[in-house]
Amino acid sequence: MNKSIHLTIDGKPVEAKHGQTIMQAADAAGIYIPRLCSHPDLRPIGSCRVCTVIVDGRPQAACVKPAMDGMVIENDTPELLQHRRNIIDMMFVEGNHFCMFCEKSGNCELQAMAYRFGITAPQYPFQFPEKAVDASHPDIMLDHNRCIMCARCVRASQELDGKNVFQAIGRGFHRKIGVDGEKALADTDMAVGDRSADVCPVGCIIKKRIGFRTAIGRRLYDRQPIGSDIEANATP
């Protein structure tokens, strides 16, 4: 079992350990596979499909698929870029993303992904759906207009906080994040120190009174594309 795993990503040889996913092996090798629902501290669920790679000719979610010996993986191809852009575009038109006044702007993973892919405008018609804002909690705001249904908050609440504040409810286009079913956030045991208040990739779960603290130009993704930290580990 200790024999190490050898695979290639875009032709580059990569060594992986047993039990690693394709994404973990790629990260360690300094190869960035774009992702949204995956978070290093949470169990992967493979739901957003932004991390799709082609493994031996078949599409697979890199965040859940275990690395196996001899895999030939494609990551950085025009087809996969197009597939990932399509998902990002859908997330923009299916929500209401007004980046110009969003507290998360500059630190948002959805926005950063669109920047990385060079998206200047989505290719699909805007839906402008009606979504609610829950500002009931004294320290935390929930703006469903910006939710991308990654379920990070659901997993963080259960796995890291030992609570069950968030659940996904409804089906299809009406699917949304519920708090203890249909309650308001103030009626739950959510606390501002919970990890579930930290993991949201977008501006849906927002801590009050700390927005816009970082000057434009110094925010996370103002100068460096998302994934640059991983790519900095690349061996030549």
Partner 1 sequence: MSKPRVATTSLAGCFGCHMSLLDIDERILSLIERVDFDRSPIDDIKHISQRCAIGLIEGGCCNEENVRVLYEFRKNCDLLISVGDCATMGGIPALRNNIPLQECIDEAYRTGVTVYNPDDITPQDPEIPLLLNRVYPCHEVVKIDYFLPGCPPSADTLWAALTALLSGQPLELPYELLKYD
Cβ neighbours around 109 below 10 Å, total: 23
- Determine the interface stretch with ligand SF4 among 58-66, 184-192, 196-204, 207-215 (rule: CB under 6 A): 196-204
**Amino acid (one-letter) located at 210:** I
User: Residue 184 and residue 191: Cα distance in Å, rounded?
Assistant: 13
Q: Is 216 in the site for partner 1 (CB under 8 A)?
A: yes
The rounded distance, in Å, linking the Cα atoms of 201 and 39 is 9
Q: Mask: binding to ligand FES, 33-62, rule CB under 6 A, as x and -? A: --xxxx-------xxxxxx---------x-
Residue among 35, 84, 152, 195 that touches ligand SF4 (CB under 6 A): 152
Interaction of residue 35 with ligand SF4, rule CB under 6 A: no
Site map (CB under 8 A) of partner 1, residues 169-198, x = contact: ------------------------------
Look up residue 94 and give its amino acid.
E
Lay out the sheet containing 133-134: strands in order across: 133-134, 140-143, 205-207
Give the whole-angstrom CA distance, residue 33 versus residue 26: 7
The binder of 167, among partner 1, ligand FES, ligand SF4, none, by C-beta within 5 to 8 A per type, is none
Strands 72-74 and 5-9 come out as: parallel
- Is 126 in contact with 90 (CB distance < 8 Å)? no
Identity of the residue, 104 or 152, whose beta carbon is nearer to ligand FES in the bound complex: 152
Q: Which residues bind ligand FES (CB under 6 A)?
A: 35-38, 46-51, 61, 63
* Contacting residues toward ligand SF4, per CB under 6 A: 97-99, 102, 104-105, 108, 110-111, 146-153, 177, 199-205
